[in-house]
Amino acid sequence: MGTPFYVTEQFPPKVELKRSRLFKRAKEEKQAEKRAWASIDTLYIDGRPTKDAYKGPDGLKCVVWNCNDLSAAKREDPDFVSLLSQYDLIILLESWTYKSSKIELSG
């Protein structure tokens, strides 16, 4: 038999705000027949963690990402390309390069 008592997780206000956005997006992804869930402050879609995008007032989806080695292998990885294709504006930061590093991006 149920009781009038329950236990819920308590997070700092900043995390709570992010979680409310993640739960909304998880619901949208489920309606698109994808597996989606939130764990603490990360959204998982079809078993993969996703980056939290900023959606500006005009609806523009933006992401800034320190990609940690933008090698040819990463640029050609279908999962990497698919992840980035979700955004309208993508800013990739590379903080570790060498004199021999050659970074070329098309598009």
**What local confidence, expressed as pLDDT, does residue 107 receive?**
62
Query: Which one, of 65, 29, 61, lies nearest residue 46 by Cα?
Result: 29
Give the model's pLDDT for residue 64.
78
Please identify every stretch of the chain with a pLDDT value under 70, giving residue numbers as ranges: 1, 51-58, 68-73, 95-97, 101-107
**Domain spans of the chain, in order of start:** 8-50, 53-98
CA distance 81 to 50: 13
pTM beyond 0.85: no
CA distance 58 to 98: 38
* Confidence at residue 31, expressed as pLDDT on a 0 to 100 scale: 92
